[in-house]
Amino acid sequence: MSEIFDIFIGTKENYNIPLIQREAVRGIILNNDKILMMVSSKNDHKLPGGGIESGETHYEALTREIKEETGFDCIGISKQVGKVFERKIDFFDSNYMFEMVSYYYICKLDKKKGKLELTESEKALGFKPVYIGIEEAIQANNEFILKYPEGVIWTKRENLVLEKILLNLDEIKNISVRL
């Protein structure tokens, strides 16, 4: 099986400035026709996941991130189904170029939910896990983008991914996960 999506966001121009690189993993978790998203107090939605720490495999990082953000144990992960490559001037310091590659996997969760272990920034943004219809999440993100045009850096990325998931939902539902 090849990847279902491979998305590029940002600039291809080389600015000859120092580069900040980051890799992240994100989980696509379906329950019937709903998807598990992290919703903030401002009602923007992102898929659970985050940065890969030194020495971690993609599977280890995704298992850790899902547990921290949703409280659920990840009991199965598919092969990689998608990738988003982002390249732009760094949001925090315009003297740097920021590149991030996010890798997407289908995940299955244990039914028993534990305690959330959110980072301070996730707590400040009021994140909580919710199952929501994919179209509803896209609409909420579109409304967020209109209300906050400077936006949050992940909202547009997540909508591009959600649109790909929606277009390929039948195929995604049939992808097997490794337990």
Asked if the structure places residue 106 within a domain, the reply is yes
Buried b (16+ CB within 10 A) or exposed e, 148-179: eeeebebbbbbbebbebbeeeeeebeebeeee
Q: Which residue range forms the structural domain that includes residue 150? A: 5-173
pLDDT of residue 179: 72
Whole-model pTM: value is 0.93
CATH of the domain at 36: 3.90.79.10
Asked if the structure places residue 62 within a domain, the reply is yes
User: Can you tell me the distance from the alpha carbon of 179 to that of 82, in angstroms, rounded to the nearest whole number?
Assistant: 20
Asked if the structure places residue 33 within a domain, the reply is yes
Q: Give, for all 179 residues of the chain, the pLDDT tens digit.
A: 569 999 999 998 888 999 999 999 999 999 988 999 999 999 999 999 999 999 999 999 999 999 999 999 999 999 999 999 999 998 889 999 999 999 999 999 998 888 888 988 898 889 999 999 999 999 999 999 999 887 677 899 999 999 999 999 999 999 989 87
Name the residue with tokens 């990082």.
61
Report the Cα 42 to chain-centroid distance in Å. Answer: 17
Q: H or E element: which one contains 63?
A: helix 58-70
Asked if the structure places residue 44 within a domain, the reply is yes
Length of the chain: 179
Asked if the structure places residue 179 within a domain, the reply is no
Asked if the structure places residue 178 within a domain, the reply is no
Report how many domains make up the chain: 1
